[in-house]
Amino acid sequence: MITFNLHFNTTESSKQDKHDSHFIQEKDSVFHKILEEKESHKSGYYDLPYDTKALQDCSTYMQDNAEILKDLTHIIIIGIGGSSLGLKAIDTMLYHLPHRNDIALKFLEHTDPIKIQKSLKRIRIQTSLFIVISKSGMTIETTSLMKYCLWRYNLLEPNLKKRLLIITDKSSILESWANENHIKTITINKNIGGRFSVLSAVGVVPLKILGYKVEEILDGAKILQDSFLARKEEHILEKAIFMANNHNTLPINILFSYSSSFRDFNLWYVQLWGESLGKINEKGKKVGLTPISLIGSIDQHSFLQLIIEGKNDKTITFLGINHNNYHEIVIPDIKMKGLESTDFVNDIPFAKLLSAQEKATMRVLDEDNLPVDSIQIDSLNEHNIGALIMYYELLTSAVGCIFEINTYDQPAVERGKKILSQMLR
């Protein structure tokens, strides 16, 4: 279960009256725009929780390659951005689950040669699976890293081709290359953007091989979306309207997550939020919201001072776990001379301390009338993580509708790719 607490305690000029007729009309307008996007298939992510293709493709692949998978020690993901961040986020949040297989998940997503060597250290081709994830197959980082692995591990040798799997757009150039070289390929629909693709085969296939209950991830996403479409998750629309309408005075959005398990989820959020919403809108105006990811309690000692006494230009979302389920590790009752002032935490579980630190920080910000809301998860399991993914995707789409932008393209990124190509030719 996930609890969403939307309570923006801020200035009178920024507050929203939920019963105001204009605000109700604005919510209805945003909701119907999202419905239009879904029904027109502008983005395929809306359909993923209901689509069985990825599960079927994964099941077939695992049956056909049972011999390869039974002794697997490493999965190496070759991909960048949306092709890796969502998968990494889910694995980091669920890694503690007992049914996760004992397989190391590595990511080749950086062209830094030092990082490449470190990531491939101790990789034995006889017990490894390389999964190349690229929608077009033309992403220069991904193709360059793929070429290096093809060369280093002789992956095009007939007896090694089964150590390579391609996940790409249907009818992409990469699929054509894979077919010509008799390499197994699983495809996704072209209208599924990379940063919205984690619930497609991009995430489903590696997560299933790792042993996760992927069906429950999809079910969690489906239930949240169904509830939203039934107008039972109005907080998503209300939060989107608040953030979009106040983007000039509150342009920075902080996700303050109180568990190290959320570190990679925060990075996924940064890409989703930044790349989707930083656009030139239909009126030719530049719009956007700047995402910042923080981890509590660590960043209470690095960023909290700025939030509290710096410029009031930020909204803060707290993401936490119900730590009642994680009380095994306790602070020992050890008294140390001169450090008596710290004894008030003795005999307290670390989980309780972390939860109290989150609540104390929220209270301070609330007392200073900063715009704060919270998401609390009762347990890190597949169902809840699926719902959390869908929540942020829907919220992003809602803000995009208000901004009057194409939430699903990235024209500025494409400009950078063209310049790189010209520089290195």
* Tens-place pLDDT, residues 248-263: 999 999 999 999 999 9
All CATH 3.40.50.10490 domain ranges of the chain, comma separated, are 2-39+217-412, 44-212
Query: Average pLDDT, whole number, for the chain?
Result: 92
Q: What is the mean pLDDT of residues 404-417?
A: 81
pLDDT at 127 over 80: yes
Report the CATH number of the 44-212 domain: 3.40.50.10490
CA 92 distance to own-chain centroid: 11
Q: Give the residue numbers annotated as catalytic, written as ranges.
A: 275, 301, 417
Class of domain 2-39+217-412: alpha beta
State residue 338's pLDDT score: 87
Report the candidate in 390, 318, 385 with the shortest Cα–Cα distance to residue 97.
385
Q: Which two tokens stand for residue 316?
A: 């803060």
State residue 198's pLDDT score: 97
Q: How sure is the predictor about 13, in pLDDT bands with cuts at 50, 70 and 90?
A: very low
DSSP-derived secondary structure for 352-375: HHHHHHHHHHHHHHHHTT--EEEE
SS3 349: strand
pTM of the predicted model as reported, rounded to 2 decimal places: 0.93
Q: Answer whether 220's CB lies under 8 Å from 384's CB.
A: yes
Q: What is the mean pLDDT of residues 231-248?
A: 96
pLDDT at 208 over 50: yes
State residue 12's pLDDT score: 47
Q: Residues, the chain, total? A: 425
State residue 73's pLDDT score: 97
The whole-angstrom separation of Cα 174 and Cα 191 is 17
DSSP 64: H
Residues contacting 400, CB < 8 A, separation 6+: 276, 277, 406, 407
